[in-house]
Amino acid sequence: MYISFDKTGSNNARISEFAFALYNVLFDEVDPSDMATEEDTFLNIDFIDDIEDAASGYCFRDECDDITIQINSNLSERDQAITLAHEMVHARQIVQGVDFDEKEAYTLESTLADSLYRIH
């Protein structure tokens, strides 16, 4: 899987480093057989000012069958990190072929942000 960033709404390099740290932690646990079809998949992380419904973020498969995470760039830096952690959990769920589990995403978002974002 390849990670790409559209930093239009975010100029924070720490968020990019945090995204790679999240990926390493969350996807390290994924069974390689689950990732077999994901080898050429892009994980696009977009920071946008005008996000739909003024939400914090979204994660979905796009028209190219890649995974897109959108983060509201109007959030504080800390809230962007928490939202990115939450949506990255959903990206892992997509790769694993399971339904979105909001309980898991909410449970892990603060733990991941607290443990990884301070370091980076």
Mean pLDDT of 96-102: 92
Residue 6 neighbours by CB under 8 Å, 6+ apart:
44, 45, 46, 47, 48
Rg (CA), the chain: 13
Mean pLDDT of 64-85: 91
Whole-number Å distance between alpha carbons of 37 and 32: 10
Angle in degrees, CA 26, 29, 31, rounded to 5 = 125
- Does pTM top 0.75 for this prediction? yes
Reported confidence tier of residue 55, pLDDT bands at 50, 70, 90:
confident
Reported confidence tier of residue 31, pLDDT bands at 50, 70, 90:
low
pLDDT of residue 17: 84
Q: Is 53 helix (H, G, I), strand (E, B) or coil?
A: helix
Q: What is the mean pLDDT of the chain?
A: 83
